[in-house]
A and B are shown apart, each in its own frame.
Chain A
Amino acid sequence: MKGYRLWCTDLHPPRFIISRDVKFNESTMLHSSKEVRDVEKEDNINKQVEFKVNSSHKLDTDTSKQPVQEEVQEYVDKLDEAPLAQCNLARDRTRRQIKPPQRYVQADVVSFALSVAEDIELQDPVTYREAITSNESSQWIGVMNEELQSLYKNRTWELVKPLKGQKVIGCKWVFKKKDGSSGVDATRYKARLVAKGFSQRGGIDFNKVFSPVVKHSSIRVLLSIVALFDLEVEQLDVKTAFLHGDLEEQIYMKQPEGFVVEGKEDHACLLKKSLYGLKQSPRQWYKRFDSFMIGHNYSRSNYDSCVYHKKLLDGTYVYLVLYVDDMVIASKSIYEINKLKTLLNNEFEMKNLGAAKKILGTEIHRDRSAGKLYLS
């Protein structure tokens, strides 16, 4: 059986009712801007199954009371002509006008396309070509120049003509846009040149790649000592850590895309310093840092090679824990920490993060008056 479910605003409270006996007042329905359809109801709830002929009869008589609408009138006329017994409400009624849904009209499609395009614009370019053809090409070129300047300053490579048959690995620009913190800073653009380390072959282009990182137990032991003796803890971050490592192997790399030196197109870069992407970079960085620390009279723990310590004259210690480019320094005196910080800053470019708040995803809270240190 066919029926209609109606949202009836006239009733208190407004509710859904189900009825078969329904007449549509299409004049208000078509011209109303509201979503809610005005529906004229004749009977509240008609549970009794009626014959279709009966209902159409009723409709026939009732139309006179309603504001008669053209289409309905037509229908009524048709009904008059046809023999009542053959009349079928579903079959014989006039077809309604078909209109495309509001959300698919032209203007909306355009605005949708625009918003998608905006999203695409906001994404970081994947290749060099994309970067220089994008709207922000000037910014990207700027940061690429900056990166190259720092690489030259660092004396990362020498331009040489590679021997015939020499394997030359590729390189790639990686672009990243970083949103500034809540409108205070402008969006920062970052470009980094990475070597395609996957084309390196073991035994030729690299030998050893293992780089130690600190054990979690060691961090906890250190923090326990910190709480025990009420030490100061500071955190540091090394900028572009991997670029500090010295390379032992001879590695030739293609010249960076878009920055090929004129007249030296057949030359390649003989790498002197490690670059992001090379397999041995983490190890070389660790070795460099290790030799620096040993050079400044710090001793490496025999039990965890990422824990360094130095005994001071007054019997207290300075501790340093290294996790790739994150480090935590702990000591009784803030003076000693600052001394070490300056040393590190002179050698490597550092970012000072102040008192240790978070290491390896673990938050550190201190309550020094109660002598407690929470780790969560």
Chain B
Amino acid sequence: MIWNAKCEACEYSISSSFQMLVALSPQSTKEEEQMSHIPYASAVGSIMYAMVCTRLDISQAISMVSRYMGNPGKMHWQAVKWILRYLRGPKDIGLVFHKNHNTCSNIVGYVDSDYTGDLDKRISQTRYVFMLSESAISWKATLQSTIALSTTEGEYMAAAETVKEAIWLRSLVDNLGLKQDIIVVYYDSQSAIHLSKNQMYHERTKHIDVRYHFLREIISQGNIIVRRIGTSDNAADMFTKTILVSKFQHCLDIIGVCII
């Protein structure tokens, strides 16, 4: 997510001036009456279709506004309009698929998580993007199903979620006749990587559920490996936090999104 409070041209998917909270939902019946005239759900739904098709740059913004689908407030509607303005800007953005120029045709993934990113329920967020020959093929920005007690746990859960998708993509691409070696998932969290490799028992990790130890099993098989990457080069960062426009552009370059 790109934060910028005053942006005329709407270069960013969502602005920091939108603090998304349940508290911003209508409090009185009069406000509810006002909001009932606004096609919030259908607007979000329409933008979501664009996101599902090609506009992964707005997936974080969509993830934020769609949490309040049940009872949207004025601020939430402002945020939706912001996204629409952003989409109107450089609207010819799209994915680009390249011909093989000796780069590996392996699937590469990027993961990131945002610890307690949801201000209402304190649920952490998972974001990942997968690329095949330098163009994005699969992405997601979603809240985790359970609340993480530490950053490490949140990141660990995100990694597990991503590895699940990696397994599916790997099988699909294999199935279509494009043989895959080891799938590399890049992650900027050192602690989660260590935890996935080292089965050390620790006071602070003992509550982490078996479900996420699934990650360990997969990694020990060696088909998918999690590798560390600097935060500045993590493409999934684009969906996560306050970054500058230059970083946003850099991330878009990594995942093969460009102006057509």
Interface residues of A (CB under 8 A from B): 216-218, 220-230, 301-304, 307, 309, 311, 317, 319, 360-363, 365, 370-376
For B105, the chain A residues whose CB sits under 8 A away are 228
Give the interface SS of chain A, mostly helix, strand, loop or mixed.
mixed
For B244, the chain A residues whose CB sits under 8 A away are none
Q: Are A218 and B172 in contact (CB under 8 A)?
A: yes
Whether B173 sits at the interface, judged by CB under 8 Å, is: yes
For A307, the chain B residues whose CB sits under 8 A away are 172, 175-176
Q: Are A362 and B54 in contact (CB under 8 A)?
A: yes
Q: Are B178 and A225 in contact (CB under 8 A)?
A: yes
Whether B117 sits at the interface, judged by CB under 8 Å, is: no
Closest residue to A330 on the B side, CB-wise? B176
Task: Report Cα–Cα, A361/B52, bound state, in Å.
Answer: 11
For B49, the chain A residues whose CB sits under 8 A away are 361
Closest residue to B258 on the A side, CB-wise? A374
| Given known A311-B177, A317-B177, A374-B94, contact A301–B54 (CB-CB < 8 A) | no
Q: Are B173 and A375 in contact (CB under 8 A)?
A: no
Q: Are B133 and A309 in contact (CB under 8 A)?
A: no
Q: How far is the CB of A224 from chain B (nearest CB, A)?
A: 5
Question: Can you list 21 pairs linking A and B with CB atoms under 8 Å apart?
Answer: A217-B169, A218-B172, A220-B135, A220-B136, A221-B132, A221-B137, A227-B99, A227-B133, A228-B99, A228-B178, A301-B172, A307-B176, A311-B177, A317-B176, A360-B53, A363-B94, A373-B96, A374-B260, A375-B53, A375-B54, A376-B260
Task: Report Cα–Cα, A223/B178, bound state, in Å.
Answer: 13
Closest residue to A360 on the B side, CB-wise? B53
Task: Report Cα–Cα, A362/B177, bound state, in Å.
Answer: 25
Q: Are A223 and B177 in contact (CB under 8 A)?
A: no
Q: How far is the CB of B127 from chain A (nearest CB, A)?
A: 16
Give the interface SS of chain B, mostly helix, strand, loop or mixed.
mixed
Task: Report Cα–Cα, A360/B105, bound state, in Å.
Answer: 26
Task: Report Cα–Cα, A307/B168, bound state, in Å.
Answer: 14
Q: How far is the CB of A170 from chain B (nearest CB, A)?
A: 31
Closest residue to A370 on the B side, CB-wise? B99
Q: How far is the CB of A302 from chain B (nearest CB, A)?
A: 7
**The residue from A220, A311, A370 contacting B137, defined by CB atoms under 8 A apart:** A220
For A222, the chain B residues whose CB sits under 8 A away are 176
Q: Are B260 and A224 in contact (CB under 8 A)?
A: no
For B172, the chain A residues whose CB sits under 8 A away are 217-218, 221, 301, 303-304, 307
Task: Report Cα–Cα, A307/B176, bound state, in Å.
Answer: 9
Q: How far is the CB of B91 from chain A (nearest CB, A)?
A: 8
Interface residues of B (CB under 8 A from A): 49, 52-54, 92-101, 105, 132-133, 135-138, 168-169, 171-173, 175-178, 260
**The residue from B52, B133, B171 contacting A228, defined by CB atoms under 8 A apart:** B133
For B177, the chain A residues whose CB sits under 8 A away are 309, 311, 317
Task: Report Cα–Cα, A128/B134, bound state, in Å.
Answer: 56
Task: Report Cα–Cα, A371/B176, bound state, in Å.
Answer: 20
Task: Report Cα–Cα, A222/B178, bound state, in Å.
Answer: 11
For A226, the chain B residues whose CB sits under 8 A away are 97
| Given known A220-B137, A220-B138, A371-B99, contact A376–B176 (CB-CB < 8 A) | no
List the 4 closest A-B pairs by CB distance, nearest first: A371-B99, A376-B94, A227-B97, A303-B172
Q: Are A225 and B99 in contact (CB under 8 A)?
A: no
Q: How far is the CB of A321 from chain B (nearest CB, A)?
A: 10
Task: Report Cα–Cα, A227/B132, bound state, in Å.
Answer: 11
**The residue from A224, A319, A361 contacting B133, defined by CB atoms under 8 A apart:** A224
Q: Are B95 and A225 in contact (CB under 8 A)?
A: no
Q: Are A303 and B175 in contact (CB under 8 A)?
A: yes
Q: How far is the CB of B50 from chain A (nearest CB, A)?
A: 8
**The residue from B54, B98, B138, B169 contacting A227, defined by CB atoms under 8 A apart:** B98
**The residue from A228, A365, A376 contacting B100, defined by CB atoms under 8 A apart:** A228
Q: Which of B49, B96, B100, B169 has the most CB of A within 10 A?
A: B96
Q: How far is the CB of A329 from chain B (nearest CB, A)?
A: 14
Task: Report Cα–Cα, A98/B133, bound state, in Å.
Answer: 80
Q: Are B171 and A302 in contact (CB under 8 A)?
A: yes
| Given known A216-B52, A361-B49, A374-B260, contact A224–B135 (CB-CB < 8 A) | yes
Closest residue to B139 on the A side, CB-wise? A217
| Given known A360-B53, A362-B54, contact A301–B175 (CB-CB < 8 A) | yes
**The residue from B96, B99, B173 contacting A374, defined by CB atoms under 8 A apart:** B96
Q: Are A376 and B98 in contact (CB under 8 A)?
A: no
Task: Report Cα–Cα, A54/B99, bound state, in Å.
Answer: 92
Q: Are A376 and B95 in contact (CB under 8 A)?
A: yes
Q: Are A372 and B176 in contact (CB under 8 A)?
A: no
Closest residue to B91 on the A side, CB-wise? A376
| Given known A309-B175, A371-B99, contact A217–B53 (CB-CB < 8 A) | no
For B175, the chain A residues whose CB sits under 8 A away are 301-303, 307, 309
For B92, the chain A residues whose CB sits under 8 A away are 376
Q: Are B94 and A375 in contact (CB under 8 A)?
A: yes
For B98, the chain A residues whose CB sits under 8 A away are 227-228, 371-372
| Given known A227-B99, A374-B95, A374-B96, contact A217–B171 (CB-CB < 8 A) | no
| Given known A221-B132, A228-B99, A303-B171, contact A319–B176 (CB-CB < 8 A) | yes
Task: Report Cα–Cα, A220/B131, bound state, in Å.
Answer: 10
Task: Report Cα–Cα, A281/B133, bound state, in Å.
Answer: 39
Task: Report Cα–Cα, A302/B174, bound state, in Å.
Answer: 11
For B96, the chain A residues whose CB sits under 8 A away are 372-375
Q: Are A376 and B54 in contact (CB under 8 A)?
A: yes
Task: Report Cα–Cα, A371/B103, bound state, in Å.
Answer: 14
Task: Report Cα–Cα, A218/B162, bound state, in Å.
Answer: 17
For A224, the chain B residues whose CB sits under 8 A away are 97, 132-133, 135, 137
Closest residue to B177 on the A side, CB-wise? A317
Contacts beyond the supplied A224-B137, A225-B176, A376-B93: 20 A-B pairs with Cβ under 8 Å? A216-B52, A217-B137, A217-B169, A220-B137, A224-B133, A225-B173, A226-B97, A228-B97, A228-B178, A301-B172, A303-B168, A307-B175, A365-B260, A374-B94, A374-B96, A374-B97, A375-B53, A375-B95, A375-B97, A376-B94
